[in-house]
């Protein structure tokens, strides 16, 4: 076992001068483990068949390094860096509330929360139980925030994007790490787990049965709600709808809060109703009912308007989960909280049942149950220049594969996508090799 702990300096020669039992070495080992466990997020910026193939094996390596890091501090630092590498972008939203000075504090707090969770897992006595604890973190959601989902480790690669695939990734890491099993038994067990978790069956998801257009806007968050800009942005959206009509599209989907105001009972609503005789329009906007305000999806079809209100709200972004009075007084004095709509909103277009999702909701497993087609609207400009949209897509791809659903995603910022169940990587390699032979 001692020789195995020296694998890190073998791959990173500059670490050879650092003593393996030093705190610096353990922190750097923890950082390396966190990078490997975060690899799908950052490799997705340069996704290709090679990176996709190695991604889950890098994650396995990261889990092995974590198990080798026997100390409680090692677990804490791994969780600390995982929290930052996955969620550093959360602090960027504070900029738009004139709280840019607390952005570093938010990032630090995220690292501490996940460092503490990993540290708690170390309290379990055996490596197997510790790994089970790390796996269980996917089901622990601070303030309802459930984006630490190990399912993304299976989105790329040869493993099925499901709990079966994820469990096999964790189990392979455990058996590679453990030293009480002979080499040949270990190889047999790892191969058995690999083929158990292998992506054997290609799932198929239904598609929209009519022509559509997803609109991607790129309005920066600091401009989006300025009153002198709202009218110009709204006119450009009307122009996009008219263009889609000329292109003979039957459906157009605009992003979350594309119309950045309460759309109901406005001239723009009347214009959209009129245009909806020629094309079905789905757009995001605000909705006010009495004293309550909602983040909503508006659907215009055949001169009629339907509104679906968001249920899953972003902590501190759309609702204040605790210390409401203090937070409103000292941090967010001009912020109006949103009310919650129904748990799951669905509607029909041409007899196809569609699940509505607004941004955060598109990453909630609850919304994929009883869902075959989802139309999701997002505003990712809150986190411009970050990895947020990549993590969001990975979560959506995981659930789309797990529930055999198709997701049509229209975004302000980055990036529009039609998300379908995972393609078999083995078939993609066969197709690539055939093309290579032809060349």
Question: Which residues are marked as active site?
Answer: 256, 310, 359
Q: Give φ, ψ of 358 to 5 degrees.
A: -115, 110
Contact 253, 215 (CB under 8 A): yes
- Residue 121 vs residues 34, 58, 76, 207, 411: alpha-carbon distances, Å: 15, 22, 9, 42, 37
Non-local CB neighbours of 311 within 8 Å, separated by 6+ positions: 340, 341, 342, 343, 344, 345, 361
Residues in the chain: 439
DSSP helix, strand, coil percent of the chain (3-state; round to 5):
55, 15, 30
- Residue 200 vs residues 194, 203, 284, 401, 420: alpha-carbon distances, Å: 11, 10, 38, 13, 16
Nearest to residue 306, comparing CAs of 367, 339, 348? 348
Q: For residue 427, what are its two tokens?
A: 């078939």
Measured over the CA atoms of residue 408, residue 157, residue 148 and residue 400, the dihedral's sign is positive
């Amino acid at each position: 076992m001692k020789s195995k702990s020296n694998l890190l300096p073998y791959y990173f020669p500059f670490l050879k001068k650092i003593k393996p039992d030093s705190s610096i070495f353990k922190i750097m080992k923890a950082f390396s483990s966190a990078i490997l466990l975060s690899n799908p997020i950052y490799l997705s910026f340069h996704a290709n068949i090679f990176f996709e193939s190695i991604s889950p094996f890098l994650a396995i390596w990261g889990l092995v390094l974590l198990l080798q890091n026997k100390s409680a501090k090692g677990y804490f630092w791994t969780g600390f860096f995982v929290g930052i590498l996955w969620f550093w972008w959360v602090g960027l939203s504070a900029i738009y509330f004139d709280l840019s000075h607390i952005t570093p504090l938010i990032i630090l707090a995220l690292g501490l929360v996940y460092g503490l969770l990993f540290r708690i897992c170390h309290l379990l006595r055996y490596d197997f139980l510790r790994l089970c604890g790390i796996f269980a973190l996917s089901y622990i959601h601070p303030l309802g925030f459930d984006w630490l989902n190990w399912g993304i480790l299976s989105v790329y690669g040869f493993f099925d994007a499901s709990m079966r695939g994820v469990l096999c990734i964790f189990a392979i890491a455990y058996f590679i790490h453990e030293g009480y099993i002979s080499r040949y038994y270990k190889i047999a067990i790892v191969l058995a787990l690999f083929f158990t978790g292998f992506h054997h069956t290609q799932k198929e998801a239904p598609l929209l049965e009519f022509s559509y257009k997803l609109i991607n806007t790129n309005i920066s968050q600091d401009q989006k709600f300025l009153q002198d800009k709202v009218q110009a942005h709204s006119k450009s959206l009307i122009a996009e709808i008219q263009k889609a009509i000329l292109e003979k599209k039957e459906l157009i989907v605009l992003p979350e809060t594309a119309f950045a105001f309460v759309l109901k009972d406005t001239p723009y609503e009347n214009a959209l109703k009129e245009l909806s005789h020629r094309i079905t329009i789905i757009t995001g906007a605000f909705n006010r009912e009495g004293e309550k305000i909602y983040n909503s999806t508006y659907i215009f079809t055949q001169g009629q308007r339907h509104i679906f209100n968001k249920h899953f709200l972003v902590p501190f972004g759309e609702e204040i989960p605790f210390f409401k009075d203090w937070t409103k007084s000292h941090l967010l004095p001009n912020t109006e909280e949103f009310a919650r709509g129904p748990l799951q909103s669905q509607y029909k277009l041409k007899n196809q049942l569609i699940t509505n999702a607004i941004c955060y909701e598109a990453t909630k497993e609850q919304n994929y149950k009883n869902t075959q087609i989802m139309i999701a609207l997002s505003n990712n400009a809150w986190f411009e220049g970050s990895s947020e949209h990549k993590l969001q897509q990975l979560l959506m791809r995981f659930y789309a594969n797990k529930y055999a659903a198709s997701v049509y995603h229209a975004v302000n910022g980055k990036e529009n996508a039609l998300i379908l169940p995972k393609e078999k990587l083995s078939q993609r390699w066969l197709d690539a090799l055939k093309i290579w032979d032809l060349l």
